[in-house]
Amino acid sequence: MASPALWALLRGCRGRVLRPRGDPPGRGSAEVVATSERYAVRRLPFARLGDSDVAFFERVMPGRVVTGEEEVKPFNVDWLKSVRGCSQLVLKPQTTAEVSQVLRYCYERNLAVTPQGGNTGLVGGSVPVFDEIILSTALMNRVISFDKVSGILVCQAGCVLERLSEYLEEQGFIMPLDLGAKGSCHIGGNVATNAGGLRLLRYGSLRGTVLGLEVVLADGSAVDCLASLRKDNTGYDLKQLFIGSEGTLGVITAVSILCPQKPKAVNVAFLGCQSFAKVLETFTTCRAMLGEILSAYEFMDEKCMELVERHLKLSSPVTGSPFYVLIETSGSNSTHDEEKLNNFLEQATASGLVTDGTVATDDKKIKALWSLRERITEALTHEGYVYKYDISLPVGKLYDLVTDMRARLGQSAKSVVGYGHLGDGNLHLNITAESYSHSLLDAIEPFVYEWTARCSGSISAEHGLGFKKKQFIQYSKPSEAVALMQRFKAMLDPKGILNPYKTLPSAPESSTR
């Protein structure tokens, strides 16, 4: 267990609602259509919040119960401003015991609860659909321990990813995951959604790096599987069920995670390719030549580049190509790494795979190149309403979906763009329009899901299903698997109070469309 000083180290955003760099522009949450209006979803028969409930919570956590309409508003709306609940209550526990007390009470009272981390999710999973109580992890932001020999970090669920990264970097380590929302997202939310991000290619998924979890179940009982061991084969690996369950099976209160050593040398190459075929061939070539030092292979199309330049005023040192690739190396010897990278670049240029490019080794230029890729999500929100798709596909077919969608939608969409983690087979397909429209949505869905299913892809590579995608699970999972998931849900949360209307499909009579 850590000293009080260590525990206090990561505090600092108490009470503030941080957002990723650049809020979606100028559209207040008041304008967001309520989820219950836009989608034909029916409220389940949970109890309604009463004054005596609020009084109870005030006794449990005095001064950390938020009830004012204006104060609650930002917790009701997702970052994309695409869904809005009408919760009247946000609770901010500081300890696992408080989370237990809250859930035990809610379970008893049949009050529905939506756990919320940094509220940076993209599928409407982190905000209520109706009046669910919001259980925010914002004040659960203590580092519990960090062991420099093993690289194992144990912390509360509400630690902001970027704060953890900064804390670890001082000690010569890094977090095994990194993503655009790092300035706001909580590690508990990352784990609850099995976030992928920019380092998965190198350090693997959270299913391998998360070593332990502490979780509070729907009935308030806490399960402590917060082991700090690299290997532990004593019984079933319970924690895995909570990783990626989007708060529907339990509330993650603490995380134990294996952190890699900070690489001594990092290089970023930003390259232009004349076709997607060349993007693919560049990937195969660099994977072979860079081998163990390859830590990211990202791609974006020229339309993405236009958007970050237009809306965010970023400027790229590489221009005039239909596709761009960002390659990152991380290694322990800068001379070796540069030699490997140079050999690769020489070959890629000589063979015409790459027609333009730049390489960065200093931190500032590296950050600037990464911004071109990381801030696409943000740039897109400036276009109006964004229809977001996060698809796993065999890499060879990754861009065909973008081309097909562009042809299908024609002038009815403002932009159809493709970018993503090519090295992981993960495409982010985004379609923008001035505002939300049912007819455009009907032109996109289920076409996009059918296309994906034909390639045995996944309709959610890393974003999860949340509220917006849950009815489409059958495109990626057989019905026996979905039925089994429903049995797990019924076993762990028989009253269904935890993040209702999320992840698993609702019964046909309460369709979400």
Contacts (CB under 8 A) with its own copies, residues 436-465: 456-465
CB of 32 to its own copies, least distance (A): 25
Nearest Cα residue to 35 out of 114, 99, 136, 143: 114
Q: Is 274 one of the binding residues for its own copies (CB under 8 A)?
A: no
Query: Could you give the CA distance from residue 75 to residue 87 in angstroms, rounded to a whole number?
Result: 8
Number of residues that bind its own copies (CB under 8 A): 86
Indicate whether 225 belongs to the interface with its own copies (CB under 8 A).
yes
In terms of CB distance, is 86 or 265 closer to its own copies? 265
251: its two tokens: 């509330």
Please give the residues from 383 up to 402 whose contact with its own copies meets the rule CB under 8 A: 392, 394-396
Contact between 503 and its own copies by CB under 8 A: the answer reads yes
Q: Which of residues 239-268 bind its own copies (CB under 8 A)?
A: 240-241, 243-245, 249, 261, 263-264
Nearer to its own copies, 185 or 318 (CB): 185
In contact, 341 and 286? CB cutoff 8 Å: no
Stretch that binds its own copies, among 131-139, 215-223, 302-310, 353-361 (CB under 8 A): 215-223
- Segments in 117-177 forming alpha helices (H): 161-169
Reading the block at residue 186, the tokens are 């909580």
Kindly give the pairing relationship between strand 65-66 and strand 222-225.
Answer: unpaired
Q: Which residue of 50, 169, 288, 315 would you call a contact of its own copies, by CB under 8 A?
A: 288
Q: Which helix (DSSP H) or strand (DSSP E) does residue 213 occupy?
A: strand 210-216
- Angle between helical axes of 276-290 and 334-350 (0-180°, round to 10): 150
DSSP character at residue 62: T
Q: Are 36 and 42 in contact, with CB atoms under 8 Å apart?
A: no
Q: Is 500 in the site for its own copies (CB under 8 A)?
A: no
Q: Tell me how far, at minimum, the Cβ of 97 lies from its own copies, in Å.
A: 14
CB of 379 to its own copies, least distance (A): 23
- Binder among 12, 204, 317, 320 for its own copies (CB under 8 A): 204
Residue 76 or 426 having the CB closest to its own copies? 426
- Strand segments, DSSP code E, in 237-360 are 251-258, 265-273, 294-301, 323-331, 356-360
Options 56, 436, 488, 513; binder of its own copies; rule CB under 8 A = 488
Q: Of 228, 361, 371, 506, which lies in the binding site for its own copies, with binding defined by CB under 8 A?
A: 228
Q: Is 35 in the site for its own copies (CB under 8 A)?
A: no
Contact 235, 125 (CB under 8 A): no
Q: Is the dihedral of CA 34, 38, 42, 44 positive or negative?
A: negative
**Whole-angstrom distance, CA of residue 169 vs CA of residue 173:** 5
232 touches its own copies by CB under 8 A: yes
The phi, psi pair for 133, rounded to 5°, reads: -70, 135
* Helices and strands in the chain: count of H runs, count of E runs: 19, 16
Provide the mask over 292-331, with x wherever binding to its own copies is found by CB under 8 A and - wherever it is not: xx------------------------------------xx
Q: Which of 424, 448, 495, 512 binds its own copies (CB under 8 A)?
A: 424
Contact region with its own copies (CB under 8 A), list: 155-163, 359-367, 402-410, 418-426: 418-426
Residues 6+ away with beta carbon under 8 Å from 334: 264, 265, 361
Contact call for residue 422 and its own copies (CB under 8 A): no
| CB nearer its own copies, residue 9 or residue 211 | 211
CB of 340 or CB of 406, closer to its own copies: 340
Q: Which of residues 143-182 bind its own copies (CB under 8 A)?
A: 147, 149-150
Neighbouring C-beta atoms of residue 435, cutoff 10 Å? 8
Q: 296 pairs with which residues across the strands?
A: 328
> Could you tell me which residues come within 8 angstroms of residue 148 by beta carbon, excluding any fewer than 6 positions away?
171, 172, 173
Among 67, 275, 332, 511, binds its own copies (CB under 8 A): 332
Candidate segments 6-14, 74-82, 193-201, 315-323, binder of its own copies by CB under 8 A: 193-201
> Which residue in 69, 236, 410, 507 binds its own copies (CB under 8 A)?
236
Query: How far is residue 332's CA from residue 343's CA, in Å, rounded to a whole number?
Result: 18
Q: Is residue 238 close enough to count as binding its own copies by CB under 8 A?
A: yes
The yes or no reply on residue 477 touching its own copies (CB under 8 A) is yes
Residue 352 contacts its own copies per CB under 8 A: no
d(CA 351, CA 16): 52
User: What is the DSSP pairing of strand 90-91 with strand 133-136?
Assistant: parallel
